[in-house]
Amino acid sequence: MIPIYLKNEFEKINSKELYSKKVRNFREKAFSELLEKGLPNKRSEEWRFTDLSMINKGEFKISENQNKPKKDINIANYDFESFYTIIIYNGYFQKNLSPIPKGIKLASNFDLIKDNNWSVSQPKKSFFDLLNTAFMESGLNLTVEKNTDIDRPLRILFICSGKEKLMISPRICINLEDSSSFSLIEQHVGNCDEYFYNGSIIINMGDDAKLDHVRIQNNSKKTINIANLHVQQKSDSNYSFNHFAFGSALSRINLYAYLIGKGANCDLNGLSLSSNNQHLDAHIITDHQATHCISSQNFKSILKDKSSGVFNGRSIVQNSAEKTSSSQSNKNLLLSEESFMNSNPQLEIYTDDVKCSHGSSTGALEPEALFYIRSRGIDEISAISLLVGGFASEIIEIIKDANIKEYVTNHFNKWISENNQ
Q: What is the pLDDT of residue 262?
A: 97
CA gap 84, 73 in Å, rounded: 15
Instruction: Report which of residues 136 and 149 the model is more confident about.
Output: 149
Alpha carbons 343 and 333: distance in angstroms, whole number:
12
Coil, helix or strand for 274?
strand
96 three-state secondary structure: helix
Q: Is 104 helix (H, G, I), strand (E, B) or coil?
A: strand
For 215-242, the pLDDT digits (tens) are 999 888 889 999 999 999 999 999 999 9
In degrees, rounded to 5, the angle at the alpha carbon of residue 221 between the alpha carbons of residues 220 and 222 is 95
Write the burial class of residue 421 (CB in 10 Å: 0-12 exposed, 13-18 middle, 19+ buried). Answer: exposed
**By mean pLDDT, which of 71-85, 152-166, 246-260 is the weakest?**
71-85
Query: What pLDDT band is residue 315 in, cutting at 50, 70 and 90?
Result: very high
% of residues, the chain, pLDDT over 70:
92
Residues in Cβ contact with 196 at an 8 Å cutoff, skipping those fewer than 6 apart: 55, 58, 60, 165, 166, 167, 168, 223, 224, 226
pLDDT at residue 207 in the model: 97
Out of 12-21, 42-51, 143-152, 412-421, least confident range: 12-21
Least confident of 53-62, 78-87, 246-255, 373-382: 78-87
pLDDT-derived band at 119 (thresholds 50, 70, 90) equals very low
b/e string for 366-396 if b means 16 or more Cβ within 10 A? eeeebeebeeeeeeeeebbbebbeebbeebb
Mean pLDDT of 381-400: 92
CA 195, CA 164: separation in Å to the nearest integer?
8
Contact 223, 199 (CB under 8 A): no
For the sheet with 210-217, list strands across it.
Answer: 92-93, 84-89, 154-160, 181-190, 210-217, 238-245, 265-274, 294-303, 325-334, 355-363
Eight-class DSSP state of 178 = T
Q: What is the mean pLDDT of the chain?
A: 88
Residue 390 pLDDT grade (very low, low, confident, very high; cuts 50, 70, 90): very high
* CA distances from residue 121 to 256, 299, 346 in whole angstroms, order as listed: 14, 28, 28
Strand intervals (E) in 41-90 = 61-62, 84-89
Query: What's residue 64's pLDDT?
Result: 75
Q: What is the mean pLDDT of residues 374-396?
A: 90
Span 56-76, pLDDT tens digits: 988 899 887 655 665 566 666
Return the pLDDT at 92. 81
Do the beta carbons of residue 262 and residue 234 sit within 8 Å?
Answer: no
3-state secondary structure of 128: helix
User: Do 300 and 328 touch, CB atoms closer than 8 A?
Assistant: no
pTM assigned to the model: 0.92
* CA 250/CA 35 separation, integer angstroms: 22
> How far apart (Å, rounded) are the C-alpha atoms in residues 137 and 110?
6
Question: Among 27-31, 102-106, 313-317, which range has the highest average pLDDT?
Answer: 313-317
Res. 113 pLDDT band, cuts 50 70 90: low
Cα(8)–Cα(367) distance, integer angstroms: 55
The structural domains of the chain, with segments of one domain joined by +, span 4-261, 366-421
Residues 6+ apart with CB under 8 A from 52: 39, 40, 41, 250
Per-residue pLDDT tens over the stretch 246-296: 989 999 999 999 999 999 999 999 999 999 999 999 999 999 999 999 999
Residue 43: pLDDT over 50: yes
**Phi, psi for residue 66 in degrees, rounded to 5:** -70, -10
For residue 179, count CB atoms less than 10 angstroms from its CB and return exposed for 0-12, middle for 13-18, buried for 19 or more: middle
Stretch 334-341: mean pLDDT = 94
